């Protein structure tokens, strides 16, 4: 039979470990009577371009022209507004409050929704500008090239919308996806075979003033990154599929320099792209280091 411990009550246990009674103070407890330091107006020397909250995680809805066409994902948000020189601070609790209002209506990751959200933030905070930055994983179905077996792939998407009461909206997209690259030098000098590696590609694009991204911008950018590599990655590969992908990579060798220039060419030829930044990093299979290239271009 288990011996019972002579334990005190829960309140007494808490006191034993340091809990004390609340302090009875004389400061107001109702919101109407509390001082609002953020709204105290005087000269604070500088205006601030962005002030707000980071790492606010919320469920989001993602639409796609690739299956699954509607999916639930998780967005990591940065919500900011400008701050005029004459105001001490912003009421930051209003930022997640506005985000939650949009969540209740369906927080969709498209630029129409984000533009409405930025304008609402600026109005709620009584500021001239606001910015939303959100990062989320986008999943899409891919079939193996021969056996047609399905699985899910992922790309990481970042959307940014900036609102200015006088100038309107500016938009930016950043996407990171994985590819296969096969070394042209290895293919050239070896009697047989060639080493390959996984490539990490990041593309950031902006639109021309007054223009917006097409509804299928994710799919277009993904295809530009993958179609210029040696081969695409696949979630499921059987032996006939593996033979196909391996031979395709051998037929399309790419240095990291080749890959970034080919991607840049497609982005240059895309009408709605105003400027772009590209980073390509090959995780080398025969070195400890990675091969890396980066470029920017403004049309």
One-character DSSP codes across 76-136 = EEEEEEEE-TTB----TTHHHHHHHHHHHH--B-SHHHHHHHHHHHHHHHT-SEEEEEEEE
Q: Residue 39's pLDDT is what? A: 73
Low-confidence ranges of the chain (pLDDT < 50): none
Distance, CA of 95 to CA of 124 (rounded, Å):
8
Distance, CA of 80 to CA of 125 (rounded, Å):
10
Omega before 68 within 30 of 0, i.e. cis: yes
Q: Which residues on neighbouring strands pair with residue 99, listed in sequence order?
A: none
Distance, CA of 271 to CA of 137 (rounded, Å):
26
262 three-state secondary structure: helix
According to DSSP, the β-strands at 129-143 and 291-298 are: unpaired
Q: Are 213 and 207 in contact (CB under 8 A)?
A: yes
Q: Residue 1's pLDDT is what? A: 60
Q: Which residues contact 148 (CB under 8 A, 6 or more apart)?
A: none
Q: Residue 193's pLDDT is what? A: 86
Can you read off the two tokens belonging to residue 280? 């390509």
Distance, CA of 81 to CA of 131 (rounded, Å):
6
Give, to the nearest 10 degrees, the angle between helix 256-268 and helix 217-227: 140
Can you read off the two tokens belonging to residue 3? 């011996």
Q: Burial level of 205, CB count in 10 A (0-12/13-18/19+)?
A: buried
Distance, CA of 197 to CA of 241 (rounded, Å):
18
Distance, CA of 188 to CA of 164 (rounded, Å):
54
Q: Residue 208's pLDDT is what? A: 78
Q: Residue 250's pLDDT is what? A: 94
């Amino acid at each position: 039979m288990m011996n019972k411990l002579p334990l005190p009550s829960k309140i007494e246990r808490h006191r034993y470990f340091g809990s004390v009674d609340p302090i009875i103070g004389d400061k107001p407890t109702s919101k109407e009577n509390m001082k609002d330091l953020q709204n105290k107006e005087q000269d604070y020397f500088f205006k601030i371009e962005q002030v707000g909250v980071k790492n606010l995680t919320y469920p989001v809805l993602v639409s796609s022209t690739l299956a699954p066409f509607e999916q639930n994902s998780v967005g990591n948000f940065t919500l900011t507004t400008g701050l005029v020189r004459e105001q001490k601070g912003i009421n930051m609790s209003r930022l997640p409050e506005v985000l939650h209002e949009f969540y209740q209506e369906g927080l969709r990751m498209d630029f129409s929704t984000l533009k409405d959200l930025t304008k609402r933030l600026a109005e709620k905070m009584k500021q001239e500008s606001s910015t939303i930055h959100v990062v989320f994983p986008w999943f899409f179905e891919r079939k193996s090239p021969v056996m047609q077996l399905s699985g899910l792939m992922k790309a990481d998407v970042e959307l940014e919308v900036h609102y200015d009461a006088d100038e309107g909206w500016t938009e930016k997209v950043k996407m990171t996806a994985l590819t296969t690259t096969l070394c042209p030098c290895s293919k050239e000098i070896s009697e047989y075979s060639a080493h390959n590696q996984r490539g990490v590609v990041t593309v950031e694009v902006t639109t021309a003033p007054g223009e917006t991204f097409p509804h299928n911008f994710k799919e277009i950018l993904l295809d530009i990154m993958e179609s210029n590599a040696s081969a695409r990655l696949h979630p499921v590969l059987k032996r006939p599929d593996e033979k196909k992908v391996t031979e395709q990579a051998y037929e399309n060798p790419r240095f990291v320099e080749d890959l970034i220039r080919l991607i840049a060419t497609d982005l240059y030829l895309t009408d709605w792209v105003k400027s772009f930044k590209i980073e390509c990093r090959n995780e080398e299979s025969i070195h400890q280091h990675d091969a890396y290239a980066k470029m920017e271009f403004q049309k």
